[in-house]
Each structure stands twice: as structure tokens, then as C-alpha cells.
Chains A and B, each alone.
Chain A
Amino acid sequence: MADPFLIAAAALVALALGLALARFLRGPRALDRVVAFDALTIVSVAAIALAGLVTGREIYLDVALVYALLSFLGVIVAARYLEGGEQ
């Protein structure tokens, strides 16, 4: 297995998660936080698939599949709620 590649990819994915979390913490408006939440779920799909590659268990991909299916529902409902302005 491509070991240095795996470590490099894991480090870059961790960097992406950290940066998106920083935007979630700062985000001046609630919609910026929703954008950061969306990015975090997409990056998490890649992180879960990488974890499946590291451990060699295919069932991890099912979790990524559930994420890809369900995470966007919350984002869409949150965006529709915030359309009417924030409280």
C-alpha cells in the first residue's frame, strides 16, 4: 500500500478540516457557518473513505454513503430557514 501517499493525504484532509472549523468558529453571519458546515460534511466523506482504506474494511464506505445522502438535507433546511433573516 502507498504509505507516504496515505500520510500526506491524511495530513491534507486534517488541514482542510481545521480550516473549515476555523471558518465555523469565526463566521460573522449564520450563513457562513452553514457554508462551513457543508464543507465539513463533504470533507468528512473523504476522511471516512480514507479511514476505510487505512483499516481495509469496506463497511466504512456505507457510513460515507449515508453521509453523502443525508448531510445535504440539513444544509438545505438550514438555508431555507435563514432565508427569512436571522434572529
Chain B
Amino acid sequence: MSAVLDMIGGLLMVGGAAFLALGGLGLVRMPDTWTRIQAGTKATTLGTLLTLAGIALIEPGWALKLALIVLFLMFTNPLSSQVLARAAHRAGLKPAPQTRADALADDEGRAAE
């Protein structure tokens, strides 16, 4: 039983670490700040959550503290990514030419009318 849990936990851990590495790759390769925010916060959040879940399966006694870390990460990371995206918008950074939609500018234009 324990060997099976170790196996599943190890697989989850490596999968989460792979998500972390892919997030880092996206951080380097993406063309503008907003897409970098997507790669740098969403992919790494999922990777960290999967890694912590794998560790919780390998060491079941640590599950409570790991769940607490997961809870805080799920509260704080979307908040910081949203604040970063809004700051990039207000600082007037130019998006990549492929960008089609800008919902915040649309909303602000509607509010100004």
C-alpha cells in the first residue's frame, strides 16, 4: 500500500515539477508582459500545488501543513497576478500585435461614456 502511494506521489511530484519547468520556459519565450504573467503565475501555481500534493502522498503525516500552504497559495497567487496585469495596463505597456481583446479598456471606455 505504502509503495503504491509512494509511486503515485512520485509521479505527481515529477508532473508538478514538469509544470514548473514549462512555466519557466513560457516566462522566457512569451512575447509580452501579459502572456508572461499567464506563464509565470498560473503554470507555476499548478506545478507547486501538484508537487505539494505528491509530497503529501509520500509523507501522509505532513498533509495538514501542506494543505495550509496550498490554501495560502490559492488565496495569494491569483491576487498577485491580477494586480500585476492591472499594473501593466495602467503603466501603458504595449501588448503583442496578436492581441485581439482588451476587456479592461472596454470597461473603462463604457464607464467614461
Contact = CB atoms under 8 A, between A and B. Distances in A.
Interface residues of A, number: 54
B83 A80 contact: yes
Given A2-B10, A65-B72, A42 B24 contact: no
Interface in A34-87: 34-36, 38-39, 42-43, 45-46, 49-50, 52-53, 58, 61-62, 64-65, 68-69, 71-72, 75-76, 79-80, 82-86
Is the contact region of chain A dominated by helix, strand, or loop, or is it mixed? helix
Interface residues of B, number: 54
Contacts of B37: 35
Interface of A: 1-2, 4-6, 8-13, 15-20, 22-23, 26, 29, 31-32, 34-36, 38-39, 42-43, 45-46, 49-50, 52-53, 58, 61-62, 64-65, 68-69, 71-72, 75-76, 79-80, 82-86
